[in-house]
Amino acid sequence: MPDARNPDWQVIRTSHASALIDSQVTALADLRPTPWIVMAPERTLCWNGQEYRFGPGLGGDIADPAEVIAAARSLATAGADNELWDGIAPVRLHPDAVDIVSSPSLASLRGKAIDCRMCDLCRPATRTVSGEGNPEARIIFVGEQPGDQEDLQGRPFVGPAGQLFDRALKEAGGNRAQAWITNAVKHFKFVPRGNRRIHQKPDATEITACSPWLAAERKVLAPKVTVMLGVTGASAVLGRQVTVSRERSRPIPLADGSIGVVTVHPSYLLRLPDEESKTREYTKFVTDLRMAISALAG
């Protein structure tokens, strides 16, 4: 929306989330070096050709382009040297492994992950599902990949397996709000079947392609205990093939000096054929989680 009284300025209206806009300011300037304003529900971002300034979303419905430009420039008063900019990561589109492992914070990782193209799983999936939880967590849980509900909601472990995990963690004396929950692979791998999306196990190539994300998360968090939920999570952390039945329920020293614990993925419990097996294996799962939590005090 150019304006005759402000010929150098272009106004772009978008519904994108502020995290995506914040993460791409450098790329946006590369695409259009002349002045522009990006207006979103939660963010107003201005580039005057020299510096970025941002502010909250511009309310109201202003029709006159000149008034829009004036209001947006007045609203966008915080620059890159402002404390409100802390944690926002200007990155190029489609980060590579070097971009990922050099991320200084979890907020930076989340911003970069929006545009992940490390493997082909990004194409059919709805979105990248990053880890979430307490940024000061001393214990992290690593699953396999997002499922259908995780892909739709953009959060890890919120489907049936996640609900079972939450119940078991609570019984073990843990608290999800004090942990970090993530996956070895950040996109949902599936095959369509009618109106359903059927989960498919990620292969070694996809796990390897996604490994910089998990490595960067663990580097930033520096947890004392890493709980590996299932064979994919364990293989991704340990960097080798894993048989869960052989290695579960015992502390494993990791290369960074922290402790690893292997256990089953909660989806395994959902697939068991009878209630007796489910009860027995659920009890073992809670015991594994309790052991991992107790290792925090060691």
Instruction: Render pLDDT for 14-57 as a digit per residue (tens, 0 to 9).
Output: 877 666 666 666 566 555 667 888 888 878 888 877 777 878 88
The architecture in CATH of the region 97-297 reads 3-Layer(aba) Sandwich (3.40)
Identify the weakest region by mean pLDDT among 76-85, 176-185, 198-207, 247-256.
76-85
90-98: long-range contacts, CB 8 A cutoff, minimum separation 24: 90/22, 90/23, 90/24, 90/25, 90/26, 90/27, 91/23, 91/24, 91/26, 91/27, 91/115, 92/26, 92/27, 93/24, 93/27, 97/212
C-beta of residue 74 within 8 angstroms of C-beta of residue 49: no
Q: What is the mean pLDDT of the chain?
A: 87
Highest mean pLDDT among 1-10, 74-83, 228-237: 228-237
Identify the weakest region by mean pLDDT among 74-78, 148-152, 177-181, 289-293.
74-78
Report yes or no on whether pTM surpasses 0.75.
no
Is it the case that residue 243 has pLDDT exceeding 70? yes
Q: What percent of the chain has pLDDT over 70?
A: 87
Is it the case that residue 122 has pLDDT exceeding 80? yes
Mean pLDDT, range 122-129, rounded to an integer: 90
Predicted pLDDT of residue 162: 97
| All structural domains of the chain with their residue ranges | 10-85, 97-297
Q: Give Cβ neighbours of residue 8 (< 8 Å, ≥ 6 apart).
A: 34, 35, 49
Q: How far apart are CA 207 and CA 214, in angstroms?
A: 10
Predicted pLDDT of residue 21: 64
Is it the case that residue 167 has pLDDT exceeding 70? yes
Is it the case that residue 248 has pLDDT exceeding 60? yes
Predicted pLDDT of residue 2: 46
Mean pLDDT, range 259-276, rounded to an integer: 97
